[in-house]
Chain A
Amino acid sequence: MSNRASEQQAIRSYDRQRRLASTQIIVSAFMVILATIIIAFSSYAIIRPTIYTYLLDGVFVVCFCLYCTSFVIARRQNLSLASILTIASTDITIIVAALIWITLLSRQFGGNAQLNPVTFAQFTSLGVAIILAGVLGERWLVIATTILMNLTSLLFMGIIPIMSLQPLFAVLVIGQQWAFAAITLTVSRVYQSTLDELGRAYIQARKVDDLKDQFIANVNHELRTPVMTMQGYIELLRLTHAKLSTEQLSTSLEKASQSGQSLLALLNSILEVREIDQELPAFTPQVVGVREAVGRAKLLIDPREGNVSEHPLHLEISADLAVAGEPIRMQQILVNLLSNACKYSEPGTPIEVTGHVVAESAEKTFPLALNVARRYVVEIVVRDYGHGIPAEQISLLFNRFVRLPRDLASNISGNGLGLYLCRVYAESMGGRIWAESSGVEGDGTAFHLRLPGAFAGDDERESTLPRLRALPHSW
């Protein structure tokens, strides 16, 4: 299932549960209210029995039964039928109550139907049906209910014999009902938008959680293998040392030691993340030459993590291009990006590293940048022509412990922390990092790293692209 479909399903499921719960609560409350009205109205019908009172009382009882049915249907998870029944019952109840007042009760109490506060309250109560449609139903139901209430209001006004006030009152009532509808639709829209965002966040969190579980299983696997090799050699030496030659003893011990080192390296990388999560020390930005940093990173790649000599490396970086950052973090980012480019592409395919100055919009200006680099930043792009990354997995890359399912199933080693560290380091220097890939094998991936630049003075910077600051000889 695609990410979007998965998000939509999660949102629909949540929204459905919310509507079902709302239906049950609202129906319960309305049943209590309607039961009270039925008791009151039945008492009145006993005192003044007419065919109208019996008829209307019967309508209330029918509506009460519809509420009961809605409640049962909602309990049985049939949302559409429960919502429609609830809204229909409410509409009928409200319209009938208004009708009773206008055609029957107001005549009995006041002699004839008047535009009095009770009548106005009856019209206002029609808005309840509109709000209820918004809470339980879809947008079209709100609009349909509003039109129904408009027509009902106009019908009632036709019954009330106060023609001189009708045009003004009609505008007032219908305007009020559309205001209810507008508010309901707005709230519904905002709610839906919030729900969409929550759905996306939920799916994202669930994916990260799944990947974390996979990572734990993977780490378990990765730990057991060097443990077995190390422990196995030690146990074998214990059992057979007497018959082994000096060379065999030496080789066995060396291999046990190598396995121990692998184990330690894995544990260190996990602990490193813990330390970074706790606190990343502050630093004073320094001028870091990009070309020199790339050259140094190339030399520092662990051969087990990627063999850079198997790939033609194309550099397109101006000799005086420099960033304002922390040299060690900058170096670690580049080592990670280059070793990934080696690991996830076939030997012989090129790796390109380009660096250039770009203008950033004001809102993206880095808060930690040196005060000489508020507008222009340095973008370093490390591009390979390897396996690529599926579009829906790109957003997960820079989280902790993330290894793509394809990589977990492959023989490519990794602990799922490299790109997370890149992001943390880039952000700590006031920069950012992202990846672009079509996901097509051979098209590869481009990692973009933007960092505050170390440029010449303010005056020149404002007029044209910046002149780059000369680097010290030590770089």
Chain B
Amino acid sequence: MTSSEQMTIVIVEDNSSLLDFLHFAMEQLGNYTVYSAPDGVAGLEMVTLHRPQCVVIDVKMPGLDGHQLVRALRGDPSTATIPLIIMTAFAQDKDRFKGLASGADLFLTKPVMPQDLAAAIQQAITTSEEERSHRLKQLSEMPLETVTEEDS
């Protein structure tokens, strides 16, 4: 996939001001067709409908939260290989680990500058399938309680 090719991305974020901004910024900075979803359920529908090249997901959302959305997408064979980026204001290491452990490719801590988000999307898209599988395998071998403890 070349950088000049039109790419589709979905942004899932419950804060309407930020969602407007991200939509606008990604359209300005990259050759993206951007779809916005205000919550996890809408995001899931949007991804299923548009089959984007990348999904940017907030964590704290009503209903289906970001981690649940990532797990749902990874669990569905038709969406399991879509690059996923978690972007959250929860900035601690445990949040980062939890985000990556749920199956996301990248974890970004707010505030994220628009050009950094564009670069992250580009990086996630160019991450090879082998790299993703290798990383997910490494995460799956980590002690389960480290993740479930946070979940509880």
Residues of A within 8 A of B (CB): 217, 220-229, 231-233, 235-236, 239-240, 243-244, 248, 252, 255, 258-259, 262, 410-411
Q: Give the chain B neighbours of A223 by CB distance below 8 A.
A: 89
Partner of B17, one of A226, A236, A244: A226
Q: Give the chain A neighbours of B113 by CB distance below 8 A.
A: 231-232, 235
Partner of B21, one of A217, A221, A233: A233
Say yes or no: A220 contacts B89, CB within 8 Å: yes
**Nearest Cβ distance between residue B116 and chain A, in whole angstroms?**
9
Say yes or no: B90 contacts A217, CB within 8 Å: yes
Q: Give the chain A neighbours of B31 by CB distance below 8 A.
A: none
Question: Which 6 pairs, one residue from A and one from B, show the smallest C-beta to C-beta distance?
Answer: A228-B111, A224-B89, A221-B89, A411-B62, A224-B110, A228-B110
Say yes or no: B21 contacts A225, CB within 8 Å: no
Partner of B111, one of A231, A243, A248, A410: A231
Partner of A240, one of B17, B28, B90: B28
Q: CA A435 – CA B21 in complex, angstroms?
A: 40
With A232-B111, A235-B114, A255-B20 known as contacts, the answer to whether A225 contacts B25 (CB < 8 A) is no
Say yes or no: A232 contacts B21, CB within 8 Å: yes
**Nearest Cβ distance between residue B43 and chain A, in whole angstroms?**
15
Q: CA A26 – CA B115 in complex, angstroms?
A: 71
Knowing that A228-B111, A258-B17 touch, tell me 20 more A-B residue pairs with CB under 8 angstroms: A220-B89, A221-B89, A225-B17, A225-B89, A225-B110, A228-B21, A228-B89, A228-B112, A229-B21, A231-B111, A232-B114, A233-B21, A235-B113, A236-B25, A236-B29, A239-B114, A239-B115, A248-B24, A262-B17, A411-B61
Please, could you name 11 A-B residue pairs with CB atoms under 8 Å apart, sorted by A?
A217-B90, A220-B90, A223-B89, A224-B109, A225-B15, A225-B89, A228-B110, A235-B115, A236-B24, A255-B20, A259-B17
Say yes or no: B111 contacts A224, CB within 8 Å: yes
The answer to the question of B18 belonging to the interface, with a C-beta cut-off of 8 Å to chain A, is yes
With A220-B91, A236-B29, A411-B14 known as contacts, the answer to whether A227 contacts B21 (CB < 8 A) is no
**Nearest Cβ distance between residue B69 and chain A, in whole angstroms?**
15
Say yes or no: A227 contacts B115, CB within 8 Å: no
Say yes or no: B114 contacts A236, CB within 8 Å: yes
**Nearest Cβ distance between residue A164 and chain B, in whole angstroms?**
75
Residues of B within 8 A of A (CB): 14-15, 17-18, 20-22, 24-25, 28-29, 60-62, 89-91, 109-115
With A225-B89, A227-B111, A228-B112 known as contacts, the answer to whether A410 contacts B62 (CB < 8 A) is yes
Q: Give the chain B neighbours of A229 by CB distance below 8 A.
A: 15, 17-18, 21
Q: Give the chain A neighbours of B17 by CB distance below 8 A.
A: 225-226, 229, 255, 258-259, 262
Q: Give the chain A neighbours of B29 by CB distance below 8 A.
A: 236, 239-240
Instruction: Output the nearest chain A residue to B61 by Cβ-Cβ distance.
Output: A411
Q: CA A458 – CA B60 in complex, angstroms?
A: 58
Q: Give the chain B neighbours of A243 by CB distance below 8 A.
A: 28
Partner of A221, one of B28, B60, B112: B60
Please indicate which of the listed interface residues A217, A236, A243, A255 has the most CB atoms of chain B within 10 Å of its own CB: A236
Partner of B28, one of A226, A227, A231, A236: A236
Q: Give the chain A neighbours of B109 by CB distance below 8 A.
A: 224
Please indicate which of the listed interface residues B17, B60, B90 has the most CB atoms of chain A within 10 Å of its own CB: B17
With A228-B112, A239-B114, A240-B29 known as contacts, the answer to whether A255 contacts B21 (CB < 8 A) is yes
Say yes or no: B18 contacts A225, CB within 8 Å: yes
Q: CA A223 – CA B111 in complex, angstroms?
A: 9
Q: Give the chain B neighbours of A221 by CB distance below 8 A.
A: 60, 89-90
Say yes or no: B21 contacts A244, CB within 8 Å: no
Q: CA A42 – CA B114 in complex, angstroms?
A: 90
Q: Give the chain B neighbours of A225 by CB distance below 8 A.
A: 15, 17-18, 89, 110
Instruction: Output the nearest chain A residue to B39 by Cβ-Cβ distance.
Output: A411
Q: CA A33 – CA B88 in complex, angstroms?
A: 66
